[in-house]
Structure 1
Amino acid sequence: MYATIGSDVPTGPGWTFEPKYDGMRALAFVTPTRVRLMTRNGKDKAAQFPEVVDALRALARKIKRSALLDGEVTALERNQPGHFQALQGRFHLKGAADIANAARESPAAMFVFDILADRGESLMSLPWTTRRGRLEALLRNAPPGIRVSESSPNGSRMIDRARKSGWEGVIAKRIAATYIPGARSRDWLKLKLQHRAEFVVGGFTEPRRTRQFLGAVLLGYFDSDGQLRYVGHTGGGFDRESLRETYERLKPLEQPHSPFAETPRTNERAHWVKPEVVVEVKFAELTSDNKLRQPIFLGIRDDKNASDVHLERESIQRMAKGRAEVPNARVASPTRGEAKKPRARRQRVGRP
Structure 2
Amino acid sequence: MSKASLPLPKVPMAPVTSPDIPTGPEWAYQIKWDGVRTLARLDGSGGVELFSKRVEPRNATFPEIVELLSPLRVGSCILDGEIVYFDGTRPNFQRSKLGVQKRPKGNDLLFVMFDMLNDNGEDLRSFTFRDRYERLAAKFPNKSPQLFVTDLFDDGQSLWEWLIEREWEGLISKRLDSPYTEGKGHTDWFKKRKEVRIVADVVGIKLKDGRVSSLVLQYENRYIGHVSGLDNASKKMLLQFMQEHPGDCPFPSLSAGMKKSDVAWLAVHFPCRVTALEFTDSGLLRQPKLLGFGAGDGDG
Asked if Structure 1 and Structure 2 have the same fold, meaning a TM-score greater than 0.5 normalized by the shorter chain, the answer is: yes
CA contact (8 A) 2:84 2:91 kept: yes
- Which of the numbers 70, 75, 88 marks the counterpart of 2:85? 75
Residue 235 of structure 1 is matched in structure 2 by 217
Is the partner of 2:111 in helix, strand or coil? strand
Task: State the 1:250 CA deviation.
Answer: 1.3
CA contact (8 A) 2:195 2:276 kept: no
Q: Map residues 1-352 of structure 1 onto 2, 5 A cutoff.
A: 1-31=13-43, 32-59=45-72, 62-63=73-74, 65-78=75-88, 81-85=90-94, 88=97, 90-93=99-102, 99=104, 102-104=105-107, 107-141=108-142, 144-195=145-196, 215-216=203-204, 232-239=214-221, 247-250=251-254, 257-258=260-261, 268=264, 283-284=274-275, 301=282
Q: One-letter code of the match for 1:284?
A: T
Summarize the Cα distance change of 1:252–1:8 in structure 2 as closer, same or farther, 3 Å threshold. Answer: closer
Is the partner of 1:284 in helix, strand or coil? strand
The alignment yields a C-alpha RMSD, in angstroms, of 4.1
CA contact (8 A) 2:16 2:184 kept: no
Is the partner of 1:7 in helix, strand or coil? coil
Larger relative contact order, structure 1 or 2 (CA cutoff 8 Å, min sep 6)? 1
CA contact (8 A) 1:49 1:103 kept: no
Summarize the Cα distance change of 1:36–1:245 in structure 2 as closer, same or farther, 3 Å threshold. Answer: farther
Q: Distance in 1 between matches of 2:137 and 2:221?
A: 41
Report the count of equivalent residues.
244
TM-score norm. by structure 1 comes to 0.58
Task: State the 1:54 CA deviation.
Answer: 1.4
Could you report, residue by residue, the CA deviation over 1:72-108 in whole angstroms, capped at 9, with x for unpaired residues?
A: 1100223x65200165554213xxxx74xx314xx10
Q: Distance in 2 between matches of 1:91 and 1:155?
A: 33
Task: State the 1:58 CA deviation.
Answer: 1.6
Is the partner of 1:43 in helix, strand or coil? coil
Task: State the 1:215 CA deviation.
Answer: 2.6
CA contact (8 A) 2:175 2:189 kept: yes
Could you report, residue by residue, the CA deviation over 1:267-318 in whole angstroms, capped at 9, with x for unpaired residues?
A: x259xxxxxxxxxxx94258xxxxxxxx9xx79728xxx9xx9869xxxxxx
Aligned residues: percent identity?
A: 26
More strand, by proportion: 2
Q: One-letter code of the match for 1:159?
A: W
Task: State the 1:236 CA deviation.
Answer: 3.6
Task: State the 1:238 CA deviation.
Answer: 3.2
Task: State the 1:130 CA deviation.
Answer: 0.6
Q: Distance in 2 between matches of 1:179 and 1:191?
A: 19
Residue 333 of structure 1 is matched in structure 2 by none
Q: Distance in 2 between matches of 1:67 and 1:245?
A: 46
Could you report, residue by residue, the CA deviation over 1:24-75 in whole angstroms, capped at 9, with x for unpaired residues?
A: 001111122421221112332222222221121122xx22x21100001100
Q: Distance in 1 between matches of 2:116 and 2:222?
A: 40
Residue 236 of structure 2 is matched in structure 1 by none
Is the partner of 2:203 in helix, strand or coil? coil
CA contact (8 A) 1:22 1:84 kept: yes
Q: One-letter code of the match for 1:179?
A: Y
CA contact (8 A) 2:205 2:265 kept: no
Q: One-letter code of the match for 1:51?
A: E
Q: Distance in 2 between matches of 1:253 and 1:15?
A: 41
Residue 291 of structure 2 is matched in structure 1 by none
Residue 203 of structure 1 is matched in structure 2 by none
Summarize the Cα distance change of 1:108–1:125 in structure 2 as closer, same or farther, 3 Å threshold. Answer: same
TM-score norm. by structure 2 comes to 0.67
Could you report, residue by residue, the CA deviation over 1:131-153 in whole angstroms, capped at 9, with x for unpaired residues?
A: 11100011123654321012101
Is the partner of 2:106 in helix, strand or coil? helix
